[in-house]
Amino acid sequence: MKKHFIKVVLSCAIVIGGFTSCKNSSSSSKNVSRATGWKINAKEGGFQYNSDFKEQETPPGTVFVEGGTFTKGKVQDDIMHDWNNSPTQQHVQSFYMDETEVTNVMYLEYLDWLKAVYPPENPSYANIYKGALPDTLVWRNRLGFNETMTNNYLRHPAYAEYPVVGVNWIQASQYAEWRTDRVNQAMLEREGYLAQDSRYQVLSGEVEGTFSTEAYLNNPESVYGGQIDSLQGKQKRDSINVFAKRSSGVIMPEYRLPTETEWEYAAQALIGSREYNNYRGRKKYPWEGDYTRNGQRVGRGDQLANFKQGKGDYGGIAGWSDDGADITAEVKSYKPNDFGLYDMAGNVSEWVADVYRPIVDDEISDFNYYRGNIFLKKAIGEDGKVEILKDQIVYDTLPNGKIVAINLPGEIKEVPVSDEETYLRTNFDKSDNRGYRDGDAGSSRFFQRFSDEADNRKMYDSPKHKVERDSTGKLLRQYDTSNYRTSLINDEVRVYKGGSWRDRAFWLDPAQRRYLPQYMATDDIGFRCAMSRVGSKSKSKNKTVRHKKAK
């Protein structure tokens, strides 16, 4: 005779005399705690939690990239002898990535929002909009006629769905931050935490201030310039759930630039092939095969990406061997890879989040590898609450003289972590980890010859130019004239990946990597955003049962 076991929880109540009376009650209800037997999400109050959460929703504009292991780095012949992408085995967690590069029309939406909320005619806001503008002069060439692109590429509707260029790494990162807030605004409206179309009241000027995701989570009364009460939605009728929290499952993680490891993994798209050579890193392009032309019956001979085919040949012979583009091409002009990502080779190269170093330290990390961590914490005011930058705008003058807004009004002030957070920790001991284990002293056996000064004996001792503005706004430049500089690498150079319309097929390999100072922009570098996945690794409603009870 089989025994049937029924899971129960004990609901206990203290009675007079100190005795307790217990009764069995089913724990099958997801709104009853398995730890205490107390109600969850009770109208009477107590612990509130989204017990109906299923899995993370795919963010707007992105596709799901299931994580896994792969060989990061180049295993083909290193004909350039860069030695900066030696193969290592890495593991990547699941994430989401834009299916295309950020296009001109997507970036124009960002510029239009900045112009409406922070009018550039207001002297206090003048540099916010200006600092976000792409550099359209990147198209100019001393011996080339490209003025048509200079004047039209960004704004003309003919180029609406072409990848935005002329955007430096800092601007790309700020776009991702802006996008996070706008998407979460829409999510809160949809779920009833904000009134329908309240986001447009900021654009029309009906509401002062704006929305910041982190400010909303930490001090919701501060968003919209303190006017959030008038913008709350149907959830306001439930006094318990006036504001969404992380535990509500409504707020999405931040949009950001993908790490180099994520980008390379997504470009390789090994999910479509289980061949041993591909698993070991032998896949040469984001598509199958060793050639850049389509070998299938339909479309045979067509180029699979937009790249420079030879000297003076940016697209092929018109009407025959043409790849359909001379400069950039409209997104989705070529087939996606097996993850559903377009243009992971060719069209434009793309910024990734990492600080560049010619080494990948897999001895210290082979899980979600990333170089560039600067750990910050929220600034706490004297009242014990997080500090909100109400009327403050934090600007930074870049080495090329461009002024960009680092923090906008309504955002949370952040400061580097202190000794209180790092004391006796084993996983990190300081805020800025961009140069961690980059091998300064040990990178060369001759490192002592770099300089006679002890404090300059560094492998990555790039020139340190100074740029600032005086009280009248005049730009003051001071160039580094030291004779001991041996490198252009520092903590402000970022990696960019993928070949572009200006590059030969050699650079289409996802493992290839190059770098550029984060304040510089070109006519062949764009970007796309990524978002981490929270929860399960696999995006499937019917998850596989991996451990079954023994009979």
| 494-519 per-position pLDDT tens digit | 999 999 999 999 899 999 999 999 99
Please tell me which residue, 307 or 277, carries the higher pLDDT value. Answer: 307
- The verdict on residue 42 lying in a domain is no
Shortest CA distance to 216 belongs to which of 256, 189, 255, 197?
A: 189
% residues pLDDT > 90 (the chain)? 49
Residue 379 belongs to domain with CATH number: 3.90.1580.10
* Rg of the chain in Å (alpha carbons): 27
Q: How far is CA 479 from CA 398, 467, 471, 485, in A?
A: 14, 9, 20, 12
DSSP string, 44-103: T-S----TT--SPPPPTTEEEE--EEEEES--S--TT-------EEEEE--EEEESSPPB
Q: How far is CA 330 from CA 170, 333, 451, in A?
A: 24, 6, 50
| Tokens 């909100």, residue located | 388
- The verdict on residue 541 lying in a domain is no
Position 232 pLDDT exceeds 70:
yes
Round the average pLDDT of the chain to a whole number and report it. 84
Q: How many domains does the chain have?
A: 1
pLDDT tens string 161-196: 999 999 999 999 999 999 999 999 999 999 999 988
Q: How far is CA 443 from CA 48, 359, 438, 440, 459, in A?
A: 53, 10, 8, 5, 7
- The verdict on residue 420 lying in a domain is yes
pLDDT at 27: 46
| Tokens 């995006």, residue located | 539
Residues in the chain: 551
CA neighbours closer than 13 Å in the CB half-sphere of residue 482:
15
Position 8 pLDDT exceeds 70:
no
Q: Please state the rounded mean pLDDT for residues 206-229.
A: 89
pLDDT tens string 379-421: 998 888 899 988 778 888 888 888 888 888 889 999 999 999 9
Classified as helix, coil or strand, 414 is: strand
Spatial distance between the Cα atoms of 266 and 346, rounded to a whole number of angstroms: 15
pTM across the whole model: 0.88
DSSP string, 339-368: TS-S-SSSSSEEEEEEEP-S---TTT--BS
- The verdict on residue 470 lying in a domain is no
pLDDT at 327: 95
- The verdict on residue 79 lying in a domain is yes
pLDDT tens string 33-74: 889 989 888 877 788 888 888 899 999 999 999 999 998 987
pLDDT tens string 513-538: 999 999 999 999 999 999 999 999 98
Structure tokens at 484: 């001991």
Which domain does 202 fall in, by range?
A: 62-438+491-532
- The verdict on residue 3 lying in a domain is no
pLDDT at 180: 97
Position 28 pLDDT exceeds 60:
no
Spatial distance between the Cα atoms of 139 and 178, rounded to a whole number of angstroms: 26
- The verdict on residue 446 lying in a domain is no
The residues that bridge with 47 in the sheet, in sequence order, are none
- The verdict on residue 239 lying in a domain is yes
